[in-house]
Structure 1
């Protein structure tokens, strides 16, 4: 038997993204999502999360899109005040102040907590939490907030991960109807697995902020209709809300 976490990234990016994630959960196999705390539709996503306790909601830590929540993190931003581009961060991770990174990512987690919800886990936009140089920050955040982490690299040994295996290839040309049917031959029996997805409907805002757009609609269609193979079952838990 294999426990499966099908996570929808980018919750909060736009309202069309939020609705795509919601429908992929209500009518399909998505059972988890991770929210961006610096996006225009973040509060809309929070409203959905509070009304949908069956949808697990974690934090999608951001370092390579939009603006930081904090204003005093100069090593994280470019001359426009936006986060540095993905290629810049991956090419020069040593230019990022770990102290500033920890403060910014803590602020993103704390903003989520301020809405009265507790995250189930965390991952990151563009997988930047998997950059080896950032490991000390990831370890401290995981321990401080008692949160498991997306299993994005071998160097996560000693850090609690949300699953044993992480698959990130349901994306682009691999968004195919039989993707989930073929899981059985890819995952060893007994291992828990997370599958990254990006369901969405389309709106003008999405085309303005992301180059990955029309394939998201295709993902939504597949996720609503997909079935897991025998021996695979969805992990469910109820979000905790502050009383």
Structure 2
């Protein structure tokens, strides 16, 4: 264990390996459990309204070293709230659509829609709290927290549920046009003392983070705290959802348990863990924080 002053920024080189969509399907849950027990996976982001959320929580309770966060779903997925409470957000089946530009405009300009959005975000935090799992981090499906209204609500509501860390979806070499906005998001997180990664890998290769993609990402990690995220799942018939038709879930799982990936990761010498390992909390005011990586 390495003692770190409570106010100090953690080591400039650290790595978090996260599986998104935990709870979406039992194939995803099987992959998360296997990749954590036998591979390099350190964290998973839970869809609390996913069809297999209960199974995911049960597995997470068996894996005390797996860091679990909340994957807030506001697009292309099932809502936590009943449709009667958020009728302007979901369809007759209680699912969000995938018209994120249109929905983003409605979130910003329509107070009634915004109030329903706040209700749903709170419901997802409440559902996570009810699992009894420690909240390691928060992120959103399809990075919807880049929207200013969504981010504001996450910061406001998340503070009530112990949110301390959030994914910053900034990939090195990404869109130049997006960089000023990412800088604003980073500044807002810093002002609220929400810990975050410096860079992420997995946006450009979403659904295609196979062994070659992992090894390339590890060979080109920028300085700072990096997160590599992916969408592993056990092999099965057909895509898990229509929007994942092009995803190579089984190849992503194979990468997470690949000896070559493990060797490449070990060769970097970079400490690994979840957000709560990289950004620990002091045991009590005035005591040093402990980083166990």
Specify the TM-score bucket, using the shorter chain as the normaliser: 0.7 to 0.9
* Higher RCO structure (Cα 8 Å, ≥6 apart): 1
Judging changes above 3 Å, is the alpha-carbon distance between structure 1 residues 68 and 19 closer, same or farther for their aligned structure 2 residues?
same
Q: 2:218 aligns with which of 183, 191, 194?
A: 183
Contact 1:90 1:131 in 2 (8 A): no
RMSD: 2.3
Aligned match of 2:195: 161
Q: TM-score, normalised by structure 2?
A: 0.72
Contact 2:30 2:234 in 1 (8 A): yes
Measured in 1, the distance between the counterparts of 2:101 and 2:95 equals: 13
Aligned match of 2:273: 235
Q: 1:69 aligns with which of 80, 93, 96?
A: 80
1:94 aligns with 2:108: no
Aligned match of 1:199: 232
Structure 2 unaligned spans of 5+? 1-11, 108-112, 170-181, 278-293
Aligned match of 1:130: 146
Over residues 116-151 of structure 1, what are the superposed CA-to-partner deviations in whole Å (9 max), with x where a residue is unaligned? 222111111111122233221122133222311111
Measured in 2, the distance between the counterparts of 1:108 and 1:182 equals: 32
- How far the C-alpha of 1:111 sits from its partner, in A, is 1.1
Contact 1:12 1:36 in 2 (8 A): yes
Over residues 178-207 of structure 1, what are the superposed CA-to-partner deviations in whole Å (9 max), with x where a residue is unaligned? 53354343412xx11111111111335853
1:149 aligns with 2:166: yes
- How far the C-alpha of 1:171 sits from its partner, in A, is 2.7
Contact 1:151 1:161 in 2 (8 A): no
Judging changes above 3 Å, is the alpha-carbon distance between structure 1 residues 74 and 32 closer, same or farther for their aligned structure 2 residues?
same
Contact 2:168 2:200 in 1 (8 A): yes
Higher mean alpha-carbon deviation, 141-150 vs 54-63, is at: 141-150
Measured in 2, the distance between the counterparts of 1:139 and 1:52 equals: 28
Higher mean alpha-carbon deviation, 66-75 vs 48-57, is at: 66-75
Measured in 2, the distance between the counterparts of 1:99 and 1:136 equals: 13
Aligned match of 1:171: 206
Over residues 47-70 of structure 1, what are the superposed CA-to-partner deviations in whole Å (9 max), with x where a residue is unaligned? 001010110000110111333221
Judging changes above 3 Å, is the alpha-carbon distance between structure 1 residues 163 and 209 closer, same or farther for their aligned structure 2 residues?
same
Aligned pair count?
234
Contact 1:151 1:165 in 2 (8 A): yes
Structure with higher Rg: it is 2
Measured in 1, the distance between the counterparts of 2:47 and 2:228 equals: 18
The 3-state SS of whatever aligns with 1:177 is helix
Aligned match of 1:241: none
